[in-house]
Structure 1
Amino acid sequence: MTDFSVLIPFSPRRPEQVLPYAALVQWTAARRLWQGQAMLVDAAHAAASASGAGFRVPLGLGVTLMPLRHPYDAAHQVRSLALTTGQPVVAGFGPGQPAFQASMRGKPYASPLTASREYVGIVRGLLTGEIVRTEGQYFSCHGGLPPATPPQVEVGLGVLRPGMARLAGEVADRAITWLTPATYVRDTLLPALREGAAKAGREVPKVTAIVPVALRRPDREPEQLALSSNAAHLAAGHYQDMLRRSGIEVVADDPVLSAKRLVAGGGFLHGDLDEVSAALDAYREAGADEVVLNLTGVFNTFGQQAALDDLKKILAARA
């Protein structure tokens, strides 16, 4: 069975802005409240604040950028959030773009896969109560966390391409995708996840697909909604490569055409409620264990009430 969850479709400036989305998770069939990397109110702080306001719901963080936080601090923050809220947490991590890596550490990771392996290995080890003794190329840690028994914390890895999917199969609890069409999850990412899991002799990690979506309405142009939420992704080389692998030929100097192709290729879901429901079912059929509804395009273009209205309609159809 596939769970359906909610992504906060903006970067909050005040923690109370999170409450309508936390309430939606608490009062509907939505499984989990997700927030991406936040550079204003930290995602963990916002989630803890919502919990203190009475909205205690399962949480997803991701994908948090590895250069911002040592893996020991990351493990401590995630476990602290689970202890504070009393709720399970999925914590996703990723290396970020090379330019961001360079801005934080002076140069990009020569091997993002190695950096991710070291990072996730340290975080998972600490969260399972190990005394970690890792001297890595990028991350080192010698120590453990004080004993505690929090709710379940799963460690995820942001996955776009087969190499990272194979690594997630080896070391992560979750593979977290963004903007990936259902057919690409089925035909490219899941086989790589299975390959990595088989190599490590472990179960295949669960798949969380964060999916941009909007319901059709008379005043909406789907390519504009797709651009409003994903213009930066369509301009990024690693997303362009992933989309081309999925059969969506993006054009670097024509973002509108790229957005139209994204919609046509199933990377951005748009249609009436029945059409959107069928497109979401395709992720379930592709093997996704969780689909996170991303209404960022609607929020950015038409505001919060429009985004909440779409979310309520889609979730009611999934109940």
Structure 2
Amino acid sequence: MRVGLFLEADSLDTLRERVAGAAGDGFGSVWTSNIFGLDALTALAVVGSQIPGIELGTAVVPTYPRHPAALAQQALTADAALGGRLALGIGLSHQVVVEQMYGYSFDRPARHMKEYLDILLPLVRDGRVKYRGETLTANLALSTPRTGTLPVLIAALAPRMLRLAGAVADGTVLWMTGPKTVRDHVAPAVTAAAEEAGRDAPRIVCALPVCVTDDPAAARTRANEVFAVYGTLPSYRAMLDREGAAGPGDVALVGTEDDVREQIEALAAHGVTDFVAAEYGSRERTRALLKDLLPR
């Protein structure tokens, strides 16, 4: 299992510094979200082109605001700038964002994702597509240069989305999804879908808050404060409920070095291929433990 970092920054200079630090520490990947600050693909292309040797992933780019052909062109351009080191994570976002902020319909989101992938994946992989769905259409070819195979991962939690992640995409990227849910729900579903489709084993990228500390109760309380919004959004709330978690603090990986090491190693045993740490709290102590997990 590879270990990466989840990084956020409010400026390109700060992001560059943090990505450079992660690369210098030997982490295999860094991931950043696309919400209302920096555009993730643009920022990673600018910053990552100056820092070699580390995979750069989006977790995730929302689909609704961008036609899949436009996203394919942008992602391929960013991947070219990075020399083939981009991992494109995409997701539906949330009903409150899609309908109340962007003004799109959030009706039948799994249909939307299927149609989105039916356009995006051929363009990313072959450069051309001819497709007419119920809500999305495309008939075009791209001449954007390709530097290799660009992995496309989807934020998949519900059964239909997990089938898409395994059967047609390259895997899933998770957030606020605890170890029991990964073991009993996510990994079996996405792996079975890939096997049935005759595809390679999918990537399961699992991002969770991490804090190495001697006071786990305080760290869980702090996680509930820092990540409170994720306990209210329906898709994450469903995963927390499935886990039996009252809030984000209950899925955060907290405790001493030995405790957190054991929790991360359990994720590998449950099928996680890439663990992504969202450090909070005692960051220096947490980073030291994460570095100790890296291959030597």
TM surpasses 0.5? yes
Distance, in Å, in 1 between the alignment partners of 2:49 and 2:43 is: 10
Whether contact under 8 Å (1:68, 1:104) holds in the other structure is no
Distance, in Å, in 1 between the alignment partners of 2:195 and 2:49 is: 42
Show structure 2 runs of 5+ residues with no match: none
| Structure 2 residue aligned with 1:280 | 264
Distance, in Å, in 1 between the alignment partners of 2:51 and 2:2 is: 23
How big is each residue's C-alpha offset from its partner over 1:162-194, in whole Å with a ceiling of 9 and x where there is no partner? 331122112111211111112211111112113
Residue 65 (str. 1) matches residue 74 (str. 2): no
Residue 153 (str. 1) matches residue 150 (str. 2): yes
Distance, in Å, in 1 between the alignment partners of 2:218 and 2:229 is: 19
Matches within 5 A, 1:99-178: 99-103=96-100, 106-146=103-143, 148-178=145-175
4+ runs of 1 displaced by more than 6 Å? none
| Structure 1 residue aligned with 2:287 | 311
1:197 positional shift = 2.2
Residue 270 (str. 1) matches residue 233 (str. 2): no
How big is each residue's C-alpha offset from its partner over 1:269-293, in whole Å with a ceiling of 9 and x where there is no partner? 1011111011000110001110001
Q: Do the aligned partners of residues 113 and 213 (structure 1) sit closer, same or farther apart at CA in structure 2, a change above 3 Å counting?
A: same
1:217 positional shift = 4.7
Distance, in Å, in 1 between the alignment partners of 2:216 and 2:179 is: 27
Whether contact under 8 Å (1:212, 1:268) holds in the other structure is yes
| Structure 2 residue aligned with 1:20 | 17
* Higher share in helix: 1
| Structure 1 residue aligned with 2:73 | 76
Q: Do the aligned partners of residues 26 and 171 (structure 1) sit closer, same or farther apart at CA in structure 2, a change above 3 Å counting?
A: same
Aligned AA for 1:285? A
Distance, in Å, in 1 between the alignment partners of 2:184 and 2:66 is: 33
1:161 positional shift = 2.7
1:52 positional shift = 4.5
1:77 positional shift = 1.3
Distance, in Å, in 2 between the alignment partners of 1:105 and 1:144 is: 28
Show structure 1 runs of 5+ residues with no match: 251-257, 299-305
How big is each residue's C-alpha offset from its partner over 1:222-277, in whole Å with a ceiling of 9 and x where there is no partner? 233212332111011222222222232x3xxxxxxx35xx42xxx11101111101
How big is each residue's C-alpha offset from its partner over 1:96-136, in whole Å with a ceiling of 9 and x where there is no partner? 11121213553433211111111122111101124211112
- Figure out how many residues of one structure are paired with residues of the other and give that number: 295
Aligned AA for 2:294? R
Residue 51 (str. 1) matches residue 48 (str. 2): yes
TM-score, with length taken from structure 1: 0.85
SS in 2 for 1:141: strand
Whether contact under 8 Å (2:203, 2:272) holds in the other structure is yes
Whether contact under 8 Å (1:67, 1:104) holds in the other structure is no
Q: Do the aligned partners of residues 58 and 308 (structure 1) sit closer, same or farther apart at CA in structure 2, a change above 3 Å counting?
A: farther
Whether contact under 8 Å (1:7, 1:35) holds in the other structure is yes
